[in-house]
Structure 1
Amino acid sequence: MRQRSLVALALALLAVTTTGCTVERHWGGGAHAGGGGKAKVGLVTKTDTNPYFVELRAAAKAAADANGADFSALAGQFDGDNDGQVRAIENLMQQGATTILITPSSSTGVLDAIDRARKSGVLVIALDTATEPATAVDATYATDNFEAGRRQGAYVKAALGGQAPKFFMVDGTAGSTVDTQRHGGFLKGIGLTDASPEIKGKVAANGDQSLAQQGVENLLQRTADINSVYTMNEPMGRGTYAALQARGLVGKVVMGSIDGGCEGVHNVKDGQYAATVMQFPKKMAEQGVLAAVEYAKTGKKPSGFIDTGSAVITDKPVPGVESKDTAWGLENCWGTK
């Protein structure tokens, strides 16, 4: 009898020890609910190579370090990798994250995983890209991408100086929220619709410089009678510039873009495109982390859409469009200066 009791006690002690080791591996505990604890912030970006998301990740880590929060970052393997982002959310939940910040590749593709996280007590905040519906997350800190597109369209329209626009649209990932919003915003700003004959061609280049160059080269084989181009982001702006340069169209075409990376501001300064619309990933990351810290301390959650702003950057200002020059842009841009 005494021997059986000793064996039972040993097994009980082993169970306690094993459980304790598991908890330590999960950031010191599995309690997700906010209030009275240390913030454990997980970040999930679309990729870990795009300079924009590199900047966002660096800013989030710096803010977490400055505020005494634990930080972990994961990403999809490519833009549109919903399964990779779902796995990242599940991994962060297992690690005991109290808040997950995410830039969803698809506004609908990760909703089930987000719902599971929120039901377990994790605060979920979207950065850069809103979910559909917006209420799928607790709050969103992002650029108003429709407004950013509208600013680009308004600039291009004014820069044409009364000429009727004849333009290509170089889009991002078909069906993505950011792409849809920027595309629609541009058309609003230039005063046209998807059915307008002024659009001489469209290509989806998935945010990639090489794909944009190839796509625009193909469009130019059909017609070179254009005076303007919409590009969804700056890498595609650079690819489009290469295609236009090869056809001798540089200086004859007004091109705008969106991002506000330091390389993009240099592109504007060097004349590759007329203007870019700057967004502020550092502000998104910092505000998201501060909300995570507040949630861990008090249980208070942010809510709704918080616009982190945008600004037209150009050295060729036009009437009716508020803008900043490239000197200001280089002081406020993200990425390597």
Structure 2
Amino acid sequence: MNRNRHGGLRRTLVATGALTIGAALALTGCGSGDGSDADAVGVTLIVKTTANPFFVSMQEGAEAAAEEAGVELTLAAGREDGDEDTQIQAIENAVSRGDKGILITPNGPGVEDALIQARDAGLYVIALDTPPSDPEAVDITFATDNFLAGQRIGEWTAAQLGGDRAVIAMIDLFDDKVVSVDVQRDQGFLDGMGIDVADPAAYGDEAETGRYSGGEYEIVGHEASQGAEDGGRTAAENLLSINPDINVVYTINEPAAYGAYEAFEAAGATDDLIVASVDGGCAGVAAVTEGVISATSQQYPVRMAELGVEAIHALATTGEAPETSEGLDFFDTGVELVTDQPHEGIESITSTEATDVCWG
């Protein structure tokens, strides 16, 4: 069935993703503007959780854009990462209200049937941050190029090592489900280091030992963190128990990086340790300044949400639908490498510069 009724470009999308854990349900009507209920443009933003500043920043960006455009905005969030039921209820509520569109960071493939039903009911659906597994579940995705985000920190890590042997700890998001953010960042990081990733659509199938672009490497293992500080700490402790000589730590996000660093600090193993991550929140940028995180790829959740609200408002008022970025199957909202240890030939910004555009 062709569900592209709105005239926007359709592209093949890839697996679903999630970033963090834990949140209470937040269903809050945020009416904006002075238009009548009859002609108001209603938009629902459904985030994974409000436990992570990334998603709170999305909400704040959406609220600002809604006020500017006169959009009636409703906010919703899962109780925790992976809470599909709460998101499904929020989708159904948006349909019942007669909203014009939905912005969502999906908590899993279980929400996709409800999204398809919302599209069939005439709502325009935009995925934020990561695409769903079923390309028919949304009209378009506004997101970070997560493979590129991983590549940026991987290239920098290879340069920072200066030819030294890399003993690598991979601290991912999940180990019981496949999500696009998890795979793309992990594989992008290894690819950026010059390591053959085998199948870029899966992680963990690369050779455990071999050569990266600057020398020899060993991957100690992949551990799940649930994108949380305590999960990052436990993952790092597990990997250190396997090999105490780890000198490179990749983490799915900055909360996991904080926990991982704590584990290495407790083990007295932070000398010459490289911690590379993704997020670019204000706390993460401060961690770069402090030397806890060596480099991070900064993404822009506020921009995602603002553009999403503006896109649905424009579609409702002018009929103009958003399009994907050239050469991509989603609209790219940008990424920058943040580090205070730059290398020639690798584009980056300092933590001071990143502070001016950070979130959270």
Q: Counterparts of 1:133 and 1:210 in 2: how far apart (Å)?
A: 32
1:196 counterpart letter in structure 2: E
The answer to whether the 8 Å contact 1:123/1:301 transfers is no
Cα distance per residue 1:119-151 (max 9 Å; x no partner): 111000011111224343111111011110111
Work out which of the residue numbers 183, 207, 214 in structure 2 matches 1:195. 207
2:157 counterpart letter in structure 1: V
Aligned to 1:181: 184
2:191 counterpart letter in structure 1: K
1:226 counterpart letter in structure 2: I
The answer to whether the 8 Å contact 1:274/1:314 transfers is yes
Work out which of the residue numbers 241, 246, 255 in structure 1 matches 2:261. 241
1:299 counterpart letter in structure 2: G
Q: Counterparts of 2:77 and 2:305 in 1: how far apart (Å)?
A: 15
Q: Counterparts of 2:117 and 2:322 in 1: how far apart (Å)?
A: 19
Aligned to 1:113: 114
Cα distance per residue 1:212-235 (max 9 Å; x no partner): 101211221121112211011000
Work out which of the residue numbers 308, 323, 328 in structure 1 matches 2:348. 323
Aligned to 1:45: 47
Cα distance per residue 1:14-58 (max 9 Å; x no partner): xxxxxxxxxxxxx946xxxxxxx4311100000122110000001
Q: Counterparts of 1:205 and 1:89 in 2: how far apart (Å)?
A: 28
Aligned to 1:7: none
2:95 counterpart letter in structure 1: M
Secondary structure of the 2:356 match is helix
Aligned to 1:14: none
Q: Counterparts of 1:167 and 1:62 in 2: how far apart (Å)?
A: 41
Cα distance per residue 1:135-179 (max 9 Å; x no partner): 431111110111101111111111101113111000013412111
Q: Pairwise mapping of residues 193-272 of structure 1 onto structure 2 (< 5 A)?
A: 193=197, 194-197=206-209, 198-272=218-292
Q: Counterparts of 1:134 and 1:260 in 2: how far apart (Å)?
A: 28
Q: 1:300 aligned to 2:320?
A: yes
Work out which of the residue numbers 265, 271, 278 in structure 1 matches 2:298. 278
Count, aligned residues: 301
The answer to whether the 8 Å contact 2:208/2:220 transfers is no
Q: Counterparts of 2:319 and 2:71 in 1: how far apart (Å)?
A: 15
Q: Counterparts of 1:169 and 1:276 in 2: how far apart (Å)?
A: 15
Structure having the higher helix fraction is 1
Q: Counterparts of 1:299 and 1:90 in 2: how far apart (Å)?
A: 24
Aligned to 2:96: 94
Q: Counterparts of 2:82 and 2:345 in 1: how far apart (Å)?
A: 37
- Which has more radius of gyration? 1
Q: Counterparts of 2:322 and 2:120 in 1: how far apart (Å)?
A: 16
Q: Counterparts of 1:85 and 1:185 in 2: how far apart (Å)?
A: 29
Per the normalisation by structure 2, the TM-score is 0.81
2:341 counterpart letter in structure 1: K
Give the RMSD, CA atoms, in angstroms: 1.4
1:187 counterpart letter in structure 2: L
The answer to whether the 8 Å contact 1:142/1:306 transfers is yes
Secondary structure of the 2:255 match is helix
Secondary structure of the 1:109 match is helix
Q: 1:169 aligned to 2:170?
A: yes
Cα distance per residue 1:210-258 (max 9 Å; x no partner): 1110121122112111221101100000000100101111132111110
The answer to whether the 8 Å contact 2:113/2:137 transfers is no
Q: Which runs of 5+ in 2 are unaligned?
A: 1-35, 198-205, 210-217, 325-329
The answer to whether the 8 Å contact 1:46/1:76 transfers is yes
